[in-house]
Amino acid sequence: MSYSLEEGLEYMEGDLTISSQMPLCGMPEQLLKVVDHKFDRKYDISFLGVPYDYGSIRIQGSATAPDKLREISQRYQYDDQDNKTLGWFDLDSDTHLLEGVRMCDCGNVWWLPGESPKQIFGRIEKSVAAIKSEGSLPVIMGGDHSITYPCIHSYGKTAIGVIWIDAHADFKYLPKDTAPNHANVLRAISKLPNVKEIIWIGGRGIVSYSNFKEGDEFRTIKMISQKRLISEGMKGVEALISNDLHYHISIDVDVIDPNYAPGTGTPLINGMKPDELISTLKTIASKCKLASCDIVEINPAFDDTDRTAQHALRAAFHLLDEASHSAHLG
């Protein structure tokens, strides 16, 4: 028996993403290639699916989230006229969302079982970089939280701030020469020299003391716990954001209370209400320069009535709408 592994890898290196067969909201699809990945038009926002959950410690399933988000998004279609979307209308907030903002779906980063996380992260990083090189804002749909590492790594030496919206710190011990997983990914990110600032919003619950206080890296994190968010409101969030830095916003859906968002691997009581998440995101987007964002840890297997995915999609639309008004797009 003979086979050529090299041939397979060579082929894969040509294509970064494959078609999801069902682009988000029916928007135009723009697949990414390592070489010659030019988009056929200009897009302000590019969605990218990362169906990867090897970074989950116990429960897999978040790899199916990008296609689940696409599936539920088919109920509100992208109306495209003269290369501009008419946007959507949100009855709950009486708001016209994303009018005139050009968007595309770049499909899913693809990978094969048997590849190392390093190989897969490399392809994720190249995909995010390809979108940025087009002057478009990457919106990454995970996947487990470890995929935020290659997203941040794609900035290379460019200074970036990270806003971590998550019930958990994801700051567990990081073994040497091991790819980050979803429980230690923020510790790995905090070691990247271009990461100038980390703001963690929505932390809560009882955690191991040694894990929480150990290590110099943790002291560099500015934190607003869920409790403080309630007592201080948006003033506390605003006070932490620097005007001169670009930010990546990472949204772990377990920041939302499990009563609203049960579809996630590590649910935790006493979380945010969905509308609190939206006001937090809008406050951030009105104050900071948004460079990229991700939404991770949706697990459709536990998502009765798809409510977690629905909340995630709604939150993303409000975040992106606010960012578009703040003229940080395009």
In this structure, what token pair is assigned to residue 317?
Answer: 């639309």
Q: Where do runs of H (alpha helix) occur along 49-116?
A: 65-73
Q: Write down the least CB distance from residue 308 to Mn ion, Å.
A: 14
Asked whether position 166 contacts Mn ion by CB under 5 A, the answer is yes
Stretch that binds Mn ion, among 90-98, 106-114, 161-169, 317-325 (CB under 5 A): 161-169
Binding to Mn ion, residues 211-230 (CB under 5 A): none
Angstrom distance (rounded) from CA 229 to CA 149: 26
Q: Read off the amino acid at residue 180.
A: P
Q: Which is nearer to Mn ion, 170 or 276 (CB)?
A: 170
Angstrom distance (rounded) from CA 199 to CA 241: 8
Asked whether position 126 contacts Mn ion by CB under 5 A, the answer is no
Asked whether position 134 contacts Mn ion by CB under 5 A, the answer is no
CB count in 10 Å sphere of residue 289:
17
Burial class of 70 by CB neighbour count within 10 A (0 to 12, 13 to 18, 19+):
buried
Residue 170, sorted as left (phi over 0), alpha (psi -120 to 50) or beta, turns out to be left
Are 256 and 271 in contact by the 8 Å Cβ rule? The answer is yes
Stretch that binds Mn ion, among 34-42, 46-54, 139-147, 207-215 (CB under 5 A): 139-147
Q: Write down the least CB distance from residue 281 to Mn ion, Å.
A: 16
Angstrom distance (rounded) from CA 174 to CA 167: 19
Q: Binding-site residue total for Mn ion (CB under 5 A)?
A: 4
Stretch that binds Mn ion, among 52-60, 96-104, 137-145, 230-238 (CB under 5 A): 137-145
Cα dihedral 306/311/312/313 (nearest 10): 90
Asked whether position 170 contacts Mn ion by CB under 5 A, the answer is yes
Q: Which is nearer to Mn ion, 56 or 324 (CB)?
A: 56
Q: Write down the least CB distance from residue 75 to Mn ion, Å.
A: 28
Q: Which is nearer to Mn ion, 23 or 274 (CB)?
A: 274
Q: Write down the least CB distance from residue 130 to Mn ion, Å.
A: 25
Q: Write down the least CB distance from residue 161 to Mn ion, Å.
A: 18
Question: b/e for 105-119, b at 16 or more Cβ within 10 A?
Answer: bbbbbbbeeeeebee
Among 68, 102, 123, 145, binds Mn ion (CB under 5 A): 145
Name the residue with tokens 């069902």.
22
Among 44, 144, 252, 322, binds Mn ion (CB under 5 A): 252
Q: Which is nearer to Mn ion, 138 or 143 (CB)?
A: 143
Asked whether position 144 contacts Mn ion by CB under 5 A, the answer is no
Asked whether position 44 contacts Mn ion by CB under 5 A, the answer is no
- Report the sign of the C-alpha dihedral through residues 329, 221, 121, 146, in that order: negative
Q: Which is nearer to Mn ion, 105 or 252 (CB)?
A: 252
Q: What Rg value do the Cα atoms of the chain yield, rounded?
A: 19
Q: Write down the least CB distance from residue 185 to Mn ion, Å.
A: 7
Asked whether position 303 contacts Mn ion by CB under 5 A, the answer is no
Question: Rule CB under 5 A: which residues touch Mn ion?
Answer: 145, 166, 170, 252
